[in-house]
Amino acid sequence: MHNVVPRTHSPSLFRSARRLFVSALAVLLPATVAVTVGAPASPAAPAATTWRNAEIAGGGFVPGIIFNQTEPGLVYARTDIGGAYRWNTATGRWLPLLDSVGWTDWGHNGVVSLATDPVDPDRVYVAAGMYTNSWDPNNGAILRSADRGGTWQAAPLPFKLGGNMPGRGMGERLAIDPNRNSVLYLGAPSGNGLWRSTDSGVTWAKVTSFPNPGNYAPDPSDTTGYQSELVGVTWVTFDPTTGTRGSTTQTIYVGVADKENTVYRSTDGGTTWARLAGQPTGYLAHKGVLDPVGGYLYLATSDTGGPYDGAKGDVWKYATKTGTWTRISPIPSDSSDDYFGYSGLTIDRQHPDTLMVATQVSWWPDVIFFRSTDGGATWTRIWDFANYPERTLRYTQDISAVPWLNFGLQPAPPVPSPKLGWMTESVEIDPFDSNHLLYGTGATIYGTSDLTKWDSGGKITIKPVVGGLEETAVLDLVSPPSGAPLLSALGDIGGFRHDSLDAVPATMYTQPVFTTTTSLDYAELTPATIVRTGTLDRSARPNDNRIAFSTDGGRNWFQGAEPGGNAGGGTVAAAADGSRFVWSPEGAPVSYSVGFGSSWTASTGIPAGAVVEADRVDPKRFYGFAAGRFYVSTDGGAKFTATAATGLPAGSAHFKAVPGAAGDIWLAGGSGTAYGLWHSTDSGASFTKLANVAEADNVGFGKAAPGRTYPALYTIAKIGGVRGIFRSDDAGASWLRINDDKHQYGNIGAALTGDPRVYGRVYVGTNGRGVIVGESGGSEPPPTSTTPTTPTTPTTPTTTTTPVPSGSCTAAYTVTNQWPGGFQASVKLGNTGTTAVTGWTATWTFADGQRVTQAWNAQVTQSGAAVTALDGGWNRTIPAGGSAEFGFTGSSGTANGKPAAISLNGRACTTS
């Protein structure tokens, strides 16, 4: 049953540094325009850009959740490729901390470990680095912050760290001495041993007396260096009772990836070290958790370093005063019922005899959590088999906040949908609240606030606790001129139709479900026609193919056939009128299909593996690019011809054709001297390289600036000596940097598009931070704000509004997020009449005392219970059959009912 479980961020997704899968309320800090190249088209100062995520909620592996041990409510999460987060108790959301990671140090978004200071809770440390093999060219670093991750300083290390390497769920490798917090230890991979800092992380030195750097590698024969790398020193745990405040803790335990010697101890403050006597052998200690009250060290072990595998393991209890070892495995390794290793070990600090442990990986039928209230003498499990295939459960699971977590699958007992999780390496009981537990999976963070019900025979409630944490690797993005504003192609979880940028999508793409979607396209002249290609395990799902089509804008899908060979993934292009498609899959030649992929014919004149795109005007014209050559077809993809264009990059590149202009193409990419941005207006027969762009990795188009006709251009590039995200409103003659150094997001080269309906809106795909939405242009207010404003008395609209005929409007009111004392909502106004509505005012009355605090896409005011929303100017026209949507945040009490009725320009709408 492994085929139905996405194995998040597998190494095959990240084969090169430059072609990575560019993997609180939203953070909206204004971005400074740092670079202007060329003569600006207007002397007016550009509007600031605000940045937020298109809401997905999770989507990747969370290998570490770290509670501060002295300050309630202070908790961090680390991800393998998407940086680190801090929980914001005021908003009930996670706050990203490493968005300042830039293009050259993109590997710092791989967080191999995190430590929060128990003496000075403002201090936090991150061990950063993505890969220890050649895929990441940079060494690792220790990042330190004195303001809880608001700002960082870096201490470079002389070796690499691997936040996305095997064994990344073991740990924590980074630890702070709880008595003398200027002392930190780091367990290093790759034979580099144990390292120490005595000056709060500023400088680091190897602990030369530590005897064992580890000898375990998942697959020593792997020539890529990924599976063959030594996992190394994996965790550090202090016994705080062996020191006093201000003095060095004397007893320290260290875990090592060595099946015969997996635990070491120092009893003299790290001066000397010895293998802990009597320890179990044959397995790796994933976790080492100390109970200083009872005097026990607990180990969770597995036969592999994980996180995807592990078939055997044990749980052990070591009495620190007597040296006695006791195996306390819920199911011991010598039992035929043990088909998993153990990880996710945690202690209830309020009741230290209460502990929990998780199966590191139990793909089938689901993860198992075990709980003991007597120090491991006896255990209960979160589910048990009843009359097979039925199970009895000690939990209920509510995924309404993130409904796509069922992966579009129906339960097939005993396998549930949704699952409790997989790759459950971090399971943590809040040290200040016995009822509060968080745990990470390969796709999200789950939590419960009634954990002790388990002990009295009740059922605990498990919900996603992942708002604000976005961890998807984005491979492609499209923003059609009608329908949903955005569709995404994602690694590991397929992708989504984003009907609202500020609401979690209800479901991922289905029929079929792809593990990874590699390419998307829509028909420019009939944009409801959309095609996607991707990957899935055909051996496990022989009836599913790797291409799918939609004729309703991505709401519903049906699959097409595959061309001969092992065709999957690659790039795909839709003819401008949706009449045919060209597919360049991996493992098969470029092929074309007339209609919706019922059969395919190999194209001629173009090499396999070429990137393909469609002209946005001429339905018979398609383009291709491979190895520095540009190709064009004028017969619907049947025959391609290489053009005479020269000087194009020999390496990878992205190119796109401009909507509304036949033969108008922009191409970005390359390396070395052949690296930059090129433009063609003759279907690729010739290209001109832009002199004002030094490097470029992607290009996209958005709505033209006011008074302009040519689309706004967006590029991820190096311009004027600065790396960033840029916009041009004059076809590339001049550029404005629209991001700043706080909003860089690491490697962001794989996916980029503007919005054809909203000037200044751009969608940026990241390698691990999800889909980033930038808003600028000055005509549309920010979508959210961290600073509430005081509502004012409504004013009478001064613009002329169109009367709305009876029965020709709809209004959908949706609460998109809710927290104690507040909420976020959206209102979608629909025009079901036959004429456009120009200038609109929506009104309603709140029945439960709600107050609007901040709004976007409309001018919202409130007097008493009455709310008035005026159009934002830029969106004042609702075409026949069209809609306008706006949103707001508000305060509320325990009740937060929807308005009974909403009116548009004084006419009551059908309200839902």
Active site positions, annotated: 80, 492
Cα 102 to the center of its chain, rounded Å: 17
Token pair recorded at residue 814 = 């949706």
59 vs 495: CA distance, rounded Å: 10
Determine the Cα–Cα distance for residues 97 and 76; give it in Å rounded to an integer. Answer: 10
For residue 4, the number of C-alpha atoms closer than 13 Å in the C-beta half-sphere is 20
Identify whether 418 is preceded by a cis peptide bond (ω within 30 of 0).
yes
Q: Which residues contact 270 (CB under 8 A, 6 or more apart)?
A: 185, 196, 207, 209, 248, 252
Q: What is the dihedral of CA 618, 621, 626, 630, to 10 degrees?
A: -80
Distance CA 151, CA 158 (A): 23
Per-residue buried b or exposed e for 312-350, using 16+ beta carbons within 10 Å of the residue's own CB: bbbbbbbebeeeebeebbbbebeeeebebbbbbbbbbbe
Q: For residues 177 and 240, give the distance between their C-alpha atoms in angstroms, rounded to a whole number.
A: 8
Contact 743, 99 (CB under 8 A): yes
**Exposure b/e, 450-484, CB count within 10 A at least 16 = b:** ebbebeeeeebebbbbbbbbbbbbbbbbbbbeebb
Output the 3-class SS for 489-522.
Answer: EECCCECCEECCCCCCCCCCCCCCCCCEEEEEEE
- The answer to whether 130 and 145 are in contact (CB under 8 A) is no
Strand order in the sheet with 474-478: 474-478, 486-490, 497-498
Q: What three-state secondary structure class fits 377?
A: coil
Q: Are 892 and 821 in contact (CB under 8 A)?
A: yes
Residue 542: other Cβ atoms inside 10 A:
8
Contact 814, 532 (CB under 8 A): no
Residue 906, class by beta-carbon neighbours within 10 Å (0-12 exposed, 13-18 middle, 19+ buried)? exposed
- What's the number of CA atoms in the CB half-sphere (13 Å) around residue 226? 15
Question: How far is it, in rounded angstroms, from Cα 30 to Cα 47?
Answer: 9
DSSP state of 471: -
How far is it, in rounded angstroms, from Cα 496 to Cα 485?
A: 11
Contacts of residue 828, Cβ cutoff 8 Å, sequence gap at least 6:
811, 812, 814, 883, 884, 885
Q: What is the distance between the alpha carbons of residues 152 and 163, in angstroms, rounded to a whole number?
A: 18
- How far is Cα 703 from Cα 760, in angstroms, rounded to an integer? 7
- For 3, counting Cβ atoms within 10 Å of its Cβ (0-12 exposed, 13-18 middle, 19+ buried), the class is middle
Q: How far apart are CA 234 and CA 361, in angstroms?
A: 18
Q: Tokens 């967080």, residue? A: 111
